[in-house]
Amino acid sequence: MSIQRGGASRDNDAILQTVTDIATKVFQITIVATILLLGWLLWGMFSGKLADTPKMPRIEQAQALQTVQMITTWLRISLIVNLISVCILFYEVTVVPVILLSIAGFLAFGLQYIADFVGVDNRSFRAAGASATGLKTIYFCAMALAVPGVILIIRNIVMNVLSARNGDDLVSQYGQTVTPEENTPRAALGVIAKCWQLPFCRAGVRKTCPIYHARTKCWKQQVGCMCEENIIRLSMRDDKEDAPPTVEMQKNQGFVAIGDLITNQEKEMAKTLPTKAGPRGVRIPVNPNLTPQQKKQRCHNCIIYNEHQREKYKFFAPVITLLVPLLVYLQYKPIREMIKNVLNGVSGLVSRAALTGTSSGHNGLTAQITGSFTAELILIIALTLVILTYALRALEYCVFKIKI
């Protein structure tokens, strides 16, 4: 049976590798074709060649329109095939959807800025004939890029949340000999759980653990069963007291049981352990030989503390995922005004750089974007997804990197 499973696994790997190789070749061919076709279309629009087609003789005009239609058709096909290969090859790369949305935004809203900057009358883009066909194709390309961009961002958000919730294998990373306990008392919410309410707290240690009896948290006291030998020593002493008594040895036999010597020595040592007053009157062992920063570092490398961090992420990730869109919805009007002000600011900068001394054309574009509900909605949704992505990244950084 295992041999059959192994053979099936190898077949699946071979199929996956074949698909990846084909997708790579397709991506390499279509990216070049898409750039060349889109470059030709943009050249025709910015040079005025497409806008001048109505002035041509009928035969030349028909040939020009036929050429433009052929170019735009192949551009659409090439772009769609390229985007399929991108989704196959780079669906796990988090920066890819941001790049797709950025290019989509540039094609949808940025061409008129570029036209005014280089001194081209952008009204010619909407002229009938080849120029209008080219502009429609540009808008199609923007929409075609935006759709997988949005889908991949949503996919990355969901996968990042699920991956961080499940997390890495904490046992292999922080505790080679530690296994989760089934009978650990659990908290109602993992985010507020104390160390002895997490699955890696060991029952044998918990019954003598001062952190448990004080009902506090080991990371708050900066001492625990995974890092402080004094707490482990207390547990070992209790185990020995519960063990069957050793056989009484007679002095005339010439020696005293070594187990008695060790037990008595540990009892005396336990009495001299440095402690501090904790909650509920419990004395909690302390280690005066370590600095607070060193104790903090011990917590960061502790399997119990990292399980606590994972529970923290499980709680806050859904909150942020719901909170960001809710804030965007509640602050929709201020966000609209902010986008309008940003577009007007960019308009002014482009106008000054182009030495035109006016931004009327750009203000028209701003009105076109903010005046169209569809364009405005697409822009705000894209910005919301980008903000949500980086908000979750910031949460991951705080919880898993610097471990706040």
Contact 146, 378 (CB under 8 A): yes
pLDDT reported for residue 242: 47
Structure tokens at 34: 């898409």
Q: What are 136's two structure tokens?
A: 């429609």
In order of 154, 218, 234, 267, the CA distances from 237 in angstroms are 54, 20, 5, 7
Across residues 375-396, what is the average pLDDT? 86
Q: How far apart are CA 31 and CA 52, in angstroms?
A: 29
Radius of gyration of the chain (CA): 34
Angstrom distance (rounded) from CA 30 to CA 75: 9
Confidence tier at 399 by pLDDT (50, 70, 90)? very high
Give residue 202's pLDDT.
82
Task: Give dist(CA 369, CA 351) in Å, integer.
Answer: 18
Q: 84-103: per-residue pLDDT in tens?
A: 999 999 988 888 998 998 89
How many C-beta atoms surround the C-beta of residue 49 within 10 A?
A: 15
pLDDT band at 265, cuts 50/70/90?
A: low
Q: So what's the pLDDT on residue 255?
A: 46
CB 65 within 8 A of CB 129: yes
For residue 194, pLDDT over 60 is answered with: yes
Specify the pLDDT at position 219.
92
d(Cα 178, Cα 302) in Å, to the nearest integer? Answer: 11
Write the DSSP string, 320-366.
HHHHHHHHHHHTHHHHHHHHHHHHHHHHHHHHHHHT-S--HHHHHHH
Query: What CA–CA distances, in Å, run from 164 to 95, 153, 160, 309?
Result: 18, 16, 6, 10
What was the pLDDT predicted at 89? 92
| Structure tokens, 130 | 């080849």
Query: How does pLDDT run across 350-370, given as a tens digit for each residue?
Result: 666 655 555 444 455 556 566
How far apart CA 92 and CA 87 sit, in angstroms, is 9
For position 22, what pLDDT does the model report? 94
Amino acid at 69: Q
Cα–Cα distance for residue pair 131/150, rounded to 1 Å: 29
pLDDT score of 305 more than 80: yes
pLDDT in tens, 12-49: 788 888 999 999 999 999 999 999 999 999 888 877 77
Tell me the C-alpha distance between 138 and 85, whole Å. 20
Distance in angstroms (rounded) separating the CA atoms of residues 93 and 336: 30
- Using pLDDT thresholds of 50, 70 and 90, give the confidence band for residue 200: confident
pLDDT at 259 over 70: no
| Mean pLDDT of all residues in 341-357 | 69
Number of residues in the chain: 404
In whole angstroms, how far apart are CA 48 and each of 53, 138, 180, 359, 362? 9, 16, 71, 22, 20
Q: Which of 392, 348, 393 is nearest to 366 (CA)?
A: 348
Predicted confidence band of residue 338 (pLDDT cuts 50, 70, 90): confident
Question: Rounded to two decimals, what is the model's pTM?
Answer: 0.64
CA dist., res. 307 & res. 374, Å (int): 44
How large a percentage of the chain has pLDDT more than 90? 25
User: Which has more confidence, 285 or 37?
Assistant: 37
Q: How many helices (H) and strands (E) does the chain have?
A: 16, 2
Least trusted range by pLDDT, from 161-170, 171-180, 291-300 = 171-180
Per the DSSP assignment, residues forming a β-bridge with 385 are none
- Is the distance from CB of 137 to CB of 88 less than 8 angstroms? no
pLDDT (mean) for 162-172: 60
Which pLDDT does position 249 carry in this prediction?
Answer: 46
C-alpha torsion sign, points 53, 54, 57, 62: positive
At 70-89, the pLDDT tens digits run 999 999 999 999 999 999 99
**Mean pLDDT, residues 217-245 taken together:** 72
DSSP-derived letter for residue 313 is H
The DSSP line for 45-58 is: HHTTTTTTGGGS-H
Q: What is the pLDDT of residue 251?
A: 45
Mean pLDDT of 144-172: 77
* pLDDT reported for residue 70: 93
Q: Span 339-346, mean pLDDT?
A: 79
Q: Under a CB-based contact definition with an 8 Å cutoff, are residues 369 and 376 in contact? A: yes
Q: Which helix (H) or strand (E) holds 269?
A: helix 258-271
Query: Span 372-376, mean pLDDT?
Result: 70
Per-residue pLDDT at 134 exceeds 80: yes
